[in-house]
């Protein structure tokens, strides 16, 4: 089965729809959403509605730090812009949407695959995986053949090699065979707010039978997403960063 | 449970029936096997070490499986099956019929004609690998098979790198990866992925075939390996006195310590070997001992005496401001072709001062266009194509003010492109050719019609990456 793994959607409906359409054309039969469904973007309600439909059809979803923040609390560890967006997002959520977010687990497992938002060694701490060392800790904790994570908004692939861990910068659209004799950690990138200088939405597709992992970049109508952010009165910085992918 | 070293005849692995053991290498054992359906026999490759071995021993298998799965053509064995059995990984691949280059090497020194014939075939095969994004890193006579038709095929990709795939072997060893006699200076320093490393190994092979000796011996320690960074090999003409200077020139050109001083591609090397009369002789070809400082100075001085540019005709001035139209079918999924098209754009504008590039896509009007719903669909489609065009052009990294993007509407794509080119005084159209299927030949492709009818130069781009695996 081909599994589409989408992370860090951040209430960006245009990007989410573009990725889902792309995944459908690629033959995805299952979907996993790695958290940060909301925050930053202008369409939290529409995104959650769409995602609830997928959940009802068997998709797996886990929670991210922005999903947690949208449910309440001071979010004092967030920067000003993220906090603004969080307060705005809270006002958009129905009680049904809040219940949906509150129901999300920190992690999900399917056979030898493990899914989570930040890092498996302490999912609730929302640590960023920015080094091979941290990737190694995450893979050790996940105890899975392939672990999928998000949180950092760019795509990368880590793998165990003997006692060390190596990082690889994937090429979009190239299927990578994941050998069974090592552990792999795929960082899916961000659907709704790419930050690597490329404004196309990012997600990954995993072919379970053939053990092939493909990182994709999907161009979408970021102008509309940006316009909606400005019209909603959210910080303008959130709009222009979509255009530049930073 | 059987171990990999002792697979009895008639043992079956994934439907392939073992016939006989062919040979044992450093890491692997090879068997001839019969496929499930009575076609030609294949080759089964299993690790020499059995169940419970250190996983690092298998890294080469993972790499070979990964890379053979992505490359194709006459210069590499086809991969038929791969997977896991009781004692570890296995690969089933094409059993290449031919003669190992090691057999030729055992007869060295060989006549010049034979060296150039073998060398050109091998360099062409290596270039084909490079075109498919692969650097082999372990070229040596025992990894080359000369097919009956004269083409060379390359085997054993356990140390190879594919530019688009993770490097699985680099992390498994703290020693230089390669065979000591053939390894390049940069590989000794731990640098992997430069195709010119393979050019260096080609130089060692040519040296061996020509003289019967290895230019750097077969060192065992790190100190012995590093000697080739400082000391020139003995010029081949000191060993074979009547060797033509051009062949020494070619061999030593491959064996330069600095990558930028070597042949830039294996294709250029193959071309020189096939056309030795055009090889430009330098001090390298005439050298009788290690080169000194004087030779280095001479080469440096030669760059200063290049002739000044000639005066230009008016059309040459117009040519400095070309309007380039690149026709992009953004729906087509073929990154290799798109990459080749971008390269064509870059090459076309590289030496020009005032170029402009228009990125153009054509969409078919919806049958519902008359209705409101159809118009809405078209607007969405138009927007999406425009976004995709921008996305397509992004990797070009060209200044925005020089770029234009247009989504044209029309059911006859080539006519629309030609009309647009005519109206905009386009100087050069760059268009991709998606293949040459029978149907396409019969109906005529967009690119062939544009090439036939456009009012300007047309570049029809084909991807050199023949794997087709991106689709």
A197 interfacial to chain B (CB closer than 8 Å) = no
Of B142, B173, B141, B144, which is closest to residue B159 (Cα–Cα)? B173
Measured in residues, chain A has a length of 246
pLDDT digits (tens, 9 = 90+) for B253-264: 999 988 888 888
**What's the gap in Å between the CA of B470 and the closest CA on chain A?**
6
Point out the residue among A157, A172, A177 whose CB comes nearest to the CB of B66.
Answer: A177
Point out the residue among A161, A164, A220 whose CB comes nearest to the CB of B387.
Answer: A220
A171 interfacial to chain B (CB closer than 8 Å) = yes
Tokens encoding A230: 């400005």
pLDDT exceeds cutoff 50 at A241: yes
Q: Are A229 and A238 in contact (CB under 8 A)?
A: yes
Preceding peptide of B109 cis, ω within 30°: yes
pLDDT digits (tens, 9 = 90+) for A68-100: 999 987 777 888 899 999 999 999 999 999 999
Cβ–Cβ gap B333/A173 under 8 Å: yes
Of all residues in chain A, what percent carry a pLDDT higher than 90? 92
Q: What mean pLDDT is predicted for residues A179-186? A: 93
Query: Does residue B466 form part of some domain?
Result: no
Cβ–Cβ gap A166/B335 under 8 Å: no
Q: Which of B82, B158, B165, B166 to mutate to test the interface with A (most CBs of A within 10 A)?
A: B166
Of B386, B400, B328, B403, which is closest to residue A221 (Cα–Cα)? B386
Of B94, B121, B139, the domain-final residue: B94
Query: Does residue B302 form part of some domain?
Result: no
Q: Are B78 and B39 in contact (CB under 8 A)?
A: no
* Same domain, yes or no: B241 and B350: no
Query: Does residue B436 form part of some domain?
Result: yes
A177 interfacial to chain B (CB closer than 8 Å) = yes
Q: Which of A14, A132, A158, A179 to mutate to test the interface with B (most CBs of B within 10 A)?
A: A179
- Cα separation, A159 vs B168, in Å, equals 9
Under the banding of pLDDT at 50, 70 and 90, the label for residue B467 is: very low
* Same domain, yes or no: B13 and B160: no
Q: What mean pLDDT is predicted for residues B369-379? A: 74
Q: Minimal Cα distance from B69: which residue of A?
A: A177
pLDDT value of residue B127? 87
Query: Does residue B276 form part of some domain?
Result: yes
Point out the residue among B66, B69, B172 whose CB comes nearest to the CB of A161.
Answer: B172
pLDDT digits (tens, 9 = 90+) for B175-233: 888 999 999 988 988 888 889 999 999 999 999 999 999 999 999 888 888 878 777 88
Tokens encoding B273: 């070997």
Measured in residues, chain B has a length of 471
* Same domain, yes or no: B133 and B32: no
pLDDT value of residue B300? 47
Tokens encoding B457: 């130069």
Cβ–Cβ gap A168/B167 under 8 Å: yes
**What's the CATH number where B329 sits?**
3.40.50.620
B333 interfacial to chain A (CB closer than 8 Å) = yes
Under the banding of pLDDT at 50, 70 and 90, the label for residue A50 is: very high
* Same domain, yes or no: B79 and B126: no
Q: Which residue has the higher pLDDT, B305 or B31?
A: B31
Query: Which domain does B61 fall in, by range?
Result: 4-94
Of all residues in chain B, what percent carry a pLDDT higher than 90? 44
CB pairs under 8 A between A and B: 64
Cβ–Cβ gap A175/B469 under 8 Å: yes
Q: Are A219 and A200 in contact (CB under 8 A)?
A: yes
pLDDT value of residue B357? 87
pLDDT value of residue B315? 46
* Same domain, yes or no: B116 and B50: no
User: Hey, which residues 58-87 in chain B have their CB within 8 Å of chain A?
Assistant: 58-59, 62, 65-66, 69, 84
* Same domain, yes or no: B199 and B234: yes
Cβ neighbours, 10 Å, residue B332? 12
Query: Does residue B468 form part of some domain?
Result: no
pLDDT value of residue B303? 42
Three-state DSSP class for B42?
A: strand
* Same domain, yes or no: B291 and B328: no
* Mean pLDDT, chain B, whole residue set: 84
Under the banding of pLDDT at 50, 70 and 90, the label for residue A3 is: very high
Tokens encoding A202: 């990012």
- Cα separation, B160 vs A162, in Å, equals 18
Is the pTM higher than 0.80? The answer reads: no
Cβ–Cβ gap B469/A164 under 8 Å: no
DSSP letter string over A4-65? Answer: EEE---TT-HHHHHHHHHHHHHTT--EEEE-S--SSSSS-HHHHHHHHHHHHHTT-EE---H
**Residue position matching structure tokens 């552990």:** A183
Cβ–Cβ gap A177/B69 under 8 Å: yes
pLDDT exceeds cutoff 80 at B76: yes
pLDDT value of residue B470? 39
* Same domain, yes or no: B230 and B333: no
Q: What mean pLDDT is predicted for residues B113-134? A: 93
Three-state DSSP class for B106?
A: helix
**What's the CATH number where B256 sits?**
1.10.510.10
- What b/e readout covers B57-71, taking b as 16+ CB neighbours within 10 angstroms? bbbbbbbbbbbbbbb
pLDDT exceeds cutoff 70 at B440: no
* Same domain, yes or no: B202 and B105: yes
pLDDT exceeds cutoff 60 at B439: no
Q: What mean pLDDT is predicted for residues B117-144? A: 94
pLDDT value of residue B100? 96
Three-state DSSP class for B93?
A: strand
* Same domain, yes or no: B82 and B103: no
Under the banding of pLDDT at 50, 70 and 90, the label for residue B5 is: low
Q: Which residues of B touch A159 (CB under 8 A)?
A: 166, 168
- Cα separation, B232 vs B339, in Å, equals 39
**Residue position matching structure tokens 């078919």:** B364
Query: Does residue B325 form part of some domain?
Result: yes
* Same domain, yes or no: B354 and B264: no
Q: Are B225 and B217 in contact (CB under 8 A)?
A: no
pLDDT value of residue B149? 92
Q: What mean pLDDT is predicted for residues B105-129? A: 95
- Cα separation, B222 vs B293, in Å, equals 27
Q: Which residues of B touch A173 (CB under 8 A)?
A: 333, 335, 470
Contacts of A63 (CB under 8 A, 6+ apart): A35, A101, A104, A105, A106, A117
Of B297, B329, B347, the domain-final residue: B297
Of B243, B269, B297, the domain-final residue: B297
**What's the CATH number where B41 sits?**
3.30.200.20
pLDDT value of residue B225? 86
**How many structural domains comprise chain B?**
3
Going by DSSP bridges, is the β-strand pair A212-218/A175-177 parallel, antiparallel, or unpaired? antiparallel
Q: What mean pLDDT is predicted for residues B348-372? A: 78
DSSP letter string over B49-90? Answer: S-TT--GGGGHHHHHHHHHHTT--STTSPPEEEEEEETTEEE
Going by DSSP bridges, is the β-strand pair B88-94/B79-85 parallel, antiparallel, or unpaired? antiparallel
Of B4, B159, B171, which is closest to residue B84 (Cα–Cα)? B4
Cβ neighbours, 10 Å, residue B335? 17
- Cα separation, B349 vs B328, in Å, equals 17
- Cα separation, A149 vs B365, in Å, equals 41
Query: Does residue B469 form part of some domain?
Result: no
Q: Are B356 and B402 in contact (CB under 8 A)?
A: yes
Tokens encoding B102: 């090691």
* Same domain, yes or no: B112 and B138: yes
pLDDT value of residue B313? 34
pLDDT value of residue B57? 66
Tokens encoding B209: 């075939």
pLDDT digits (tens, 9 = 90+) for B274-332: 878 768 788 899 988 866 666 545 544 544 554 444 444 334 545 676 888 999 988 88
pLDDT exceeds cutoff 80 at B93: yes
Task: Sketch out chain A's domains with CATH numbers.
Answer: 2-109+169-179+193-244 (3.60.21.10)
Query: Does residue B307 form part of some domain?
Result: no
Cβ–Cβ gap A159/B168 under 8 Å: yes
pLDDT digits (tens, 9 = 90+) for B145-174: 999 999 999 999 999 999 899 998 887 777
């Amino acid at each position: 089965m081909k599994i589409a793994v989408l992370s860090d959607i951040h209430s960006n409906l245009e990007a989410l729809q573009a990725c889902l359409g792309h995944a459908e054309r690629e033959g995805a039969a299952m979907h996993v959403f790695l958290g940060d469904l909301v925050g930053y973007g202008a369409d939290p309600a529409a995104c959650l509605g769409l995602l609830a439909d997928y959940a009802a059809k068997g998709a797996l979803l886990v929670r991210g730090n922005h999903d947690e923040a949208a449910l309440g609390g001071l979010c004092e560890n967030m920067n000003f812009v993220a906090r603004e967006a969080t307060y705005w997002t809270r006002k958009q959520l129905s009680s049904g949407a809040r219940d949906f977010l509150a129901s999300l687990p920190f992690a999900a497992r399917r056979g030898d695959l493990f899914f989570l938002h930040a890092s498996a060694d302490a999912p609730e701490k929302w640590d960023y995986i920015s080094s091979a060392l941290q990737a190694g800790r995450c893979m050790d904790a996940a105890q899975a053949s392939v672990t999928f994570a998000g949180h950092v908004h760019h795509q990368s692939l880590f793998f165990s090699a003997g006692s060390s861990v190596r990082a690889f910068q994937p090429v979009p659209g190239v299927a990578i065979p994941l050998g069974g004799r090592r552990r792999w950690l795929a960082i899916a990138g961000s659907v709704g707010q790419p930050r690597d200088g490329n404004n196309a939405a990012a997600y990954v597709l995993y072919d379970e039978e053939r053990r092939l992992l493909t990182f994709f970049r999907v161009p979408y109508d970021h102008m509309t997403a940006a316009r909606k952010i400005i019209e909603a009165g959210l910080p303008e910085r959130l709009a222009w960063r979509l255009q530049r992918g930073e | 449970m059987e171990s990999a070293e002792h697979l009895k005849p008639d043992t079956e692995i994934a439907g392939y029936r073992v016939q006989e053991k062919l040979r044992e290498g450093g890491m692997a054992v090879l068997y001839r096997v019969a496929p499930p359906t009575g076609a030609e026999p294949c080759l089964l490759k299993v690790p020499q070490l059995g169940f419970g071995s250190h996983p690092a021993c298998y890294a080469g298998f993972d790499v070979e499986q990964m890379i053979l799965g992505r490359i194709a053509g006459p210069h590499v064995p086809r991969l038929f099956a791969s997977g896991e059995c009781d004692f570890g990984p296995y690969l089933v691949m094409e059993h290449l019929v031919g003669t190992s280059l090691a057999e030729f090497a055992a007869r060295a020194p060989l006549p010049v004609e034979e060296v150039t014939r073998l060398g050109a075939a091998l360099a062409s095969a290596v270039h084909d690998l490079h075109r498919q994004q692969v650097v082999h890193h372990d070229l040596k006579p025992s990894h080359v098979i000369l097919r009956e038709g004269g083409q060379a095929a390359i085997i054993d990709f356990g140390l190879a790198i594919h530019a688009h795939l993770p490097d699985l072997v680099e992390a498994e060893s703290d020693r230089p990866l390669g065979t000591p006699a053939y390894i390049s200076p940069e590989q000794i320093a731990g640098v992997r992925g430069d195709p010119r490393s393979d050019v260096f190994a080609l130089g060692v092979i040519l040296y061996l075939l020509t003289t019967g000796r290895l230019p750097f011996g077969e060192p065992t320690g790190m100190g012995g390996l590093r000697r080739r960074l400082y000391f020139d090999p003995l010029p081949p003409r000191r060993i074979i006195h009547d060797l033509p200077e051009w062949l020494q020139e070619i061999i030593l050109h491959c064996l330069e310590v600095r990558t930028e001083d070597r042949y830039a591609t294996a294709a250029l090397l193959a071309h020189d070997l096939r056309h030795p009369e055009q090889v430009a002789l330098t001090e390298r070809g005439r050298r009788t001992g290690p080169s000194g400082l004087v030779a280095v100075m001479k080469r440096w001085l030669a760059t200063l005496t290049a002739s000044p540019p000639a005066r230009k005709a008016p059309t040459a001035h117009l040519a400095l401001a070309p309007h380039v139209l690149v026709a992009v079918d953004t729906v087509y999924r073929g990154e290799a072709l798109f990459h080749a098209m971008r390269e064509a754009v870059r090459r076309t504008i590289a030496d020009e001062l005032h170029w402009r590039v228009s990125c153009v896509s054509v969409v078919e009007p919806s049958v519902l266009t008359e209705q409101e719903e159809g118009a809405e669909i078209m607007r969405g489609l138009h927007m999406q194509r425009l976004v995709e065009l921008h996305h397509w052009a992004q990797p070009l990294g060209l200044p925005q003010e020089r770029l234009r993007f247009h989504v044209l509407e029309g059911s006859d794509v080539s006519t629309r492109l030609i009309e647009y080119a005519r109206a905009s005084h386009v100087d050069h159209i760059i268009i991709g050719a998606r293949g040459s299927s029978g149907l396409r030949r019969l109906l005529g492709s967009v690119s062939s019609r544009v090439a036939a009818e456009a009012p300007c130069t047309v570049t029809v781009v084909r991807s050199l990456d023949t794997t087709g695996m991106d689709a």
